[in-house]
């Protein structure tokens, strides 16, 4: 996906010298964006209410170095007055990563430690914001708008094999055996600011800063080799969280009403207010979550058409 995007960028740039500067007025834009990123999801819970000889946290699961390629469609519509509506829709693939599973006795004495490979996974997300340009400065060269919106972000990964570092599970598991599938979904309220600063007739900087005051999370763990937990998904974590979603992008008008942009993005949502349950084991009481978060960050390459 990287090479075609760069080839397209170079081809469009070759016509830039023959074009005049774009007209400053616009009603909106549509475009496509590539996001090269890495991410991680971490969960932990406290089983001391069941057994005080266990640690707090008792079990820590970390899915890390989840490198991914994402392709995204986006658009914005500016209305008469100062209102605007904007949104994005992205899908992608997790290419690789690792899964670490650690368990602790009281005093945080580790009694189990395994590492597995994440060979594949998927990402999907959508964002929709409704806003109002509060400040319009320099004859429209700088705008700062406030918005409220909604986002949904899902990641699902499969982990294979296991290296048994402490011998607790009785030896290594072959690398072709699927051991765990993790699926995490965040449904979030967004409140933030969108700023657009034009430096020259061809270049501008766009910033999107969103705070997430409330997010509902559902994290499904499917332990495929744990028959005692019942059919998959067999471990469920649910809670209420908060976080941030930040974007910054520098764009250049390579031809009339067409922009090429490069940027950075950082998404992070967390919760420590929730429960862990076994949906197929009603005999086991729910346990408190110690930590659950998802993070994804990386660089973006954008091709945008103004209209």
At 80 the pLDDT is: 80
212 pLDDT higher than 80: yes
Q: Give the C-alpha separation, 296 to 3, whole Å.
A: 22
- For the chain, the three-class secondary structure string (H helix, E strand, C coil) is CHHHHHHHHHHHHCCHHHCCCCCCCCCEEEEEEEEEEEEEEEEEECCCCCCCCEEEEEEEEEEEEEEEEEEEEEEEEECCCCEEEEEEEEEEEEEEEEEEEEEEECCCEEEEEEEEEEEEEEEEEEEEEEEEEEEEECCCCEEEEEEEEEEEEEEEEEEEEEEECCCCCCCCEEEEEEEEEEEEEEEEEEEEEEEEEECCCCEEEEEEEEEEEEEEEEEEEEECCCHHHCCCCCEEEEEEEEEEEEEEEEEEEEECCEEEEEEEEEEEEEEEEEEEECCCCCCCCCEEEEEEEEEEEEEEEEEEEEC
Q: What is the pLDDT of residues 102-114, one digit of tens each?
A: 999 999 999 999 9
Cβ atoms of 210 and 192 within 8 Å: the answer is: yes
At 25, the pLDDT band (50, 70, 90 cuts) reads low
At 39 the pLDDT is: 98
At 26, the pLDDT band (50, 70, 90 cuts) reads low
At 148 the pLDDT is: 98
Q: Give the C-alpha separation, 2 to 242, whole Å.
A: 32
Q: Give the C-alpha separation, 307 to 261, whole Å.
A: 17
Where do the structural domains in the chain lie, given as residue ranges? 2-306
Q: Give the C-alpha separation, 65 to 165, whole Å.
A: 20
CA distances from 171 to 113, 164, 167, 174, 282 (A): 11, 6, 6, 10, 30
At 307, the pLDDT band (50, 70, 90 cuts) reads confident
At 10 the pLDDT is: 37
20 pLDDT higher than 80: no
Cβ atoms of 107 and 98 within 8 Å: the answer is: no
Closest CA to 102 of 173, 49, 43, 183: 43
28 pLDDT higher than 80: yes
Q: What is the pLDDT of residues 143-155, one digit of tens each?
A: 999 999 999 999 9
At 139 the pLDDT is: 81
182 versus 80: the higher-pLDDT residue is 182
Q: In the predicted model, what is the mean pLDDT of residues 160-177?
A: 97
Cβ atoms of 272 and 43 within 8 Å: the answer is: no
Domain at 2-306, CATH homologous superfamily: OMPT-like (2.40.128.90)
Provide the residue count of the chain.
307
11 pLDDT higher than 50: no
Question: What share of the chain in percent tops pLDDT 70?
Answer: 92
């Amino acid at each position: 996906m990287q090479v075609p995007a760069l080839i397209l960028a170079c081809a469009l740039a070759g016509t830039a010298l023959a074009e005049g500067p774009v007209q400053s007025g616009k009603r909106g834009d549509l475009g496509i964006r590539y996001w090269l990123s890495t991410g991680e999801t971490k969960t932990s819970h406290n089983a001391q209410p069941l057994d005080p000889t266990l640690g707090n946290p008792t079990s820590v699961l970390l899915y890390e170095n989840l490198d991914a390629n994402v392709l995204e469609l986006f658009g914005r519509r500016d209305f008469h007055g100062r209102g605007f509506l904007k949104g994005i829709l992205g899908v992608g693939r997790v290419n690789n990563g690792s899964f670490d599973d650690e368990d602790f006795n009281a005093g945080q004495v580790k009694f189990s430690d395994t590492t597995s490979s994440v060979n594949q996974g998927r990402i999907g997300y959508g964002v929709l914001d409704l806003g109002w340009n509060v400040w319009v400065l320099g004859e429209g060269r700088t705008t700062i708008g406030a918005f409220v919106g909604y986002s949904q972000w899902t990641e699902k990964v499969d982990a294979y094999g296991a290296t048994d570092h402490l011998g607790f599970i009785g030896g290594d598991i072959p690398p072709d055996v699927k051991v765990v599938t993790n699926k995490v979904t965040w449904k979030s309220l967004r409140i933030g600011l969108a700023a657009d600063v034009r430096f020259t007739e061809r270049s501008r900087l766009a910033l999107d800063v969103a705070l997430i005051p409330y997010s509902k999370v559902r994290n499904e763990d499917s332990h495929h080799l744990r028959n005692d937990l019942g059919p998959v998904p067999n471990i469920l974590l649910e809670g209420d969280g908060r976080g941030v979603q930040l974007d910054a992008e520098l764009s250049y008008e390579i031809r009339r009403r067409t922009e090429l942009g490069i940027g950075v993005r950082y998404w992070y949502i967390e919760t420590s207010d929730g429960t862990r349950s076994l949906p197929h084991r009603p005999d086991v009481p729910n346990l408190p979550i110690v930590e659950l978060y998802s993070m994804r960050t990386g660089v973006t390459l954008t091709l945008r058409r103004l209209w």
